[in-house]
Structure 1
């Protein structure tokens, strides 16, 4: 048993070193949410909030159709498991999601962007309230909610934002096919 603990301690030290490198690069922590915020800022021209703990939103779109609007960025292994909706106001939620969670045994869930969703907060809250959904941590959403808000890898006809080929290529860097 102690051999396994020594191995685990060494692996955690290695992970801590890598997390420190990521944090130094992004200027924030290496937590999935902070990495998602960094990626969103680069891909969508978002001015990050002055602090990583800004109430309600993580940044403001600097350009494009959403310029001047606030956004709360979320990164999840699987967005269908629910999204955290803050009581503090923001205009949009930008959600990065990995692939659906595997059923069965616990295993490593790689950090990847399989899909991105952009929700208009007021419309989302209205939809959820109409269904009687409790708003807060791990707010339950339906597949149809995600499909309506999807902006990556493909958009639907009512999407709030159409990605440029460059934005699509940048998000593809974090896809499942990348090794």
Structure 2
């Protein structure tokens, strides 16, 4: 019974925290919505008016990708695969952390959707939920913490500082 009482108290506390997170983000406290909020603030992305926008979550508002659409993903471990939708978007921005239950962003990857899907189709990979990608694909798209030489985006010191808030 003690474990149930403690669990009930912890879930009530988590519900209060989720309400505060939703108030702050203007969306739910689900990981995907939290990831979109973080990405929008760090990478200057104007999010779509609704969290259920088909294909992409927003558009880059500044920098070399201004106006390009982006689908933001937040995963405990991006090495387990990423969800690629059938609706078009220009880029996938993947925020990844450890596979533990602790929230952290330890890696950020930016994929050019057209290039990624072409490579995957060439390999015969089924594209959809939990699309299998190779470690080399992730490493080539890495922009944080150590950008790949082929990175499509260069982080500023401000980007890095903000990302370290979540490491």
Name the TM-score, length of structure 2 as normaliser: 0.97
Q: 1:6-155, aligned counterparts within 5 Å? A: 6-99=5-98, 101=99, 109-155=101-147
1: CA distance between counterparts of 2:34 and 2:162? Answer: 14
Q: Unmatched 5+ residue regions in structure 2?
A: none
CA displacement at 1:3 relative to structure 2: 2.6
CA offsets 1:27-72 (integer angstroms, 9 cap, x no match): 1111111111001111111000010000000000011110000000
Q: Which residue of 2 aligns with 1:104?
A: none
1:159 aligns with 2:151: yes
* Number of aligned residue pairs: 167
- Structure 1, unpaired ranges of 5+: 102-107
1:5 aligns with 2:4: yes
Following superposition, which runs of at least 4 residues in structure 1 exceed 6 angstroms of deviation? none
TM-score w.r.t. the length of structure 1 is 0.91
